[in-house]
Amino acid sequence: MDSEALKKYSALHPKPAGLTLQYGTAGFRSKAQQLDHVMFRMGLLAVLRSKALASTIGVMVTASHNPEEDNGVKLVDPLGEMLHPSWEEYATQLANAEEQELQTVITEICQKAAVNQHKDASVFLGRDTRPSSEKLSQAVIDGICVLGAQYHDYGLVTTPQLHYMVCCQNTQGQYGKATLEGYYEKLSKAFTELIKQVNSDSGESQRHLKIDCANGIGALKLSEMKPYFPKEVLFHLYNDGTKEKLNHLCGADFVKVHQQPPRGLELEANERCCSLDGDADRIVYYYKDTSGHFHLIDGDKIATLISIFLKELLAKVGQTFQLAVVQTAYANGSSTHYLEETLKVPVHCVKTGVKHLHHKAQQFDVGVYFEANGHGTVLFSKAAEAQIRQLAKEEKEEGKRDAAKMLENMIDLINQTVGDAVSDMLVIEAILALKGLSVQQWDAIYTDLPNRLLRVQVADRRVIDTTDAERFVVTPAGLQEKINGLVKKYKLARAFVRPSGTEDVVRIYAEADTQEHADALAHEVSLAVYHLAGGRGAPPRP
């Protein structure tokens, strides 16, 4: 390590005095002007991680669904997964080190993580469309170059595309070609093969879909992908970033939180529409019925649709594959009930955060996971995938072979590295076409229980400690008993509270038989949190 070069470059990316940041599920996120030093240092860390694992590591510059003024960075591990938790600590340590400690901290990380500094290293880099992203990407490159590593800058890509590239590179092309063309070709080929099976008598010959691209990267990449799609599929892009600000009154997060359509997209009755988020790793669908009522179809209903389809195909193939759905406590009670009672698919609840869902889903032959916010994917075990591909090639019985071929195309269409709005959208479009379902019929599979999300500011979020996948409060004493008592007052009711991962806020979720009851329950629970967990400011008002 050239300590003079490190000093010189580090001085070009100084750390603002008194700033402390924490690497969380979403990496680092903050106002863009506070992140220059963090980017430089994550360039350094990516090189160390690459040397430690003798693999290519990804660095993505994005703040996803946050406002345009923010930015962020996350590292991608060799198979396209999120950075290992033990290295999240190193990331936080390195980002917060004072200038003069930098060399020492790097040496410490190398010792703790057994990094061989003489190994070669390689890093893949991508960024979203924020005005600040290009300059911040350059800071990452400075960090990579100081430690003498190779890098490939993919420039503007969606977050899932970078995850995909990293996985392709480290599987020596087994997962696919580590190029954008490779990504477009693999997905569009699988999608086209599936769409070919659609019985042309069963409804629309042309498939129209309106897509809100959150004024982000999704618009650019879907435009690039257009030539790859079959001609009967018509995707209409809105909020494409040419006029408005990223994520402003649009995008998957806005639609999910405000339960209303995005600005810049006119909803006609019963038209199928969807919204991506700013870096295209989340998707939600929605429509307006003939009486003008807005219907949201979130991650829970997406997981249900995919599970119904996969369960049918797996039954046709006649193998005993273990299919399971993984949810968090935020999943609507109706979805859990439908999956377990009607579809007879086991459901597992884990802590909030994609890494927990992903980890659990890896334990099954076929693991479907989605957060209610529309982030999710499907994982196939190596053994299940190999068996499906073999059946698609060698099975004598036509019905079984056709089902296996469909499953094989689903495997290729799904981005198994991470939730991918573009891939998920194509999976949904293919299933709706193959099953001849309208958006209203999909929505009618089950009816969501009315629910309400609230937040209460507290002096210190650490006073709240939870267990049982965040569904039960351990501390402060008396809070869970209070919640239990409030829940008993209402029919079909459920409520839980959990501390935010990033700010001194406690998040509250409540559902009940009517919206009025869900609202009342959420408010009563928020008052209990305010009084028992050190609320700040004025008490919550109904």
Is 389 assigned to a binding site?
no
First vs last C-alpha separation in the chain: 59
Query: DSSP 3-state assignment of 219?
Result: helix
Q: Residue 91 annotated as binding? A: no
Q: Amino acid letter at 158?
A: T
Give the C-alpha separation, 313 to 308, whole Å: 9
The residues with which 457 forms a beta bridge, in sequence order, are 505
CB hemisphere CA count around 382 (13 angstroms): 2
Which positions are catalytic?
Answer: 64
Is 371 annotated in a binding site? The answer is yes
**Pairing mode, strands 366-370 and 323-328:** parallel
DSSP 56-67: EEEEEE--TTS-
Is 502 annotated as contributing to ligand binding? yes
The verdict on whether residue 199 carries a ligand-binding annotation is no
For residue 498, say whether it is annotated as part of any ligand binding site: yes
How many CA atoms does the CB half-sphere of 73 hold within 13 Å?
35
In 10 A of CB 450, how many CB atoms? Answer: 17
Q: Are 525 and 511 in contact (CB under 8 A)?
A: no
80 in a labelled binding site: no
Answer yes or no: is 507 a known binding residue: yes
Q: Which DSSP letter does residue 234 get?
A: E
- Radius of gyration for the chain, computed over Cα atoms and rounded to the nearest angstrom: 24
536 assigned ligand-binding residue: no
Are 420 and 280 contacting, i.e. CB atoms less than 8 angstroms apart?
yes
How many H helices and E strands in the chain? 18, 19
Residue 199's identity, in one-letter code, is N
SS3 state at 136: helix
Is 501 annotated to bind a ligand? Reply is: yes
Measure the CA–CA gap between 129 and 62, rounded to whole angstroms.
8
Angstrom distance (rounded) from CA 399 to CA 282: 34
Report the binding-site residues: 64, 277, 279, 281, 371-373, 498-502, 507
Report the binding-site residues for substrate: 371-373, 498-502, 507
Report the binding-site residues for Mg(2+): 64, 277, 279, 281
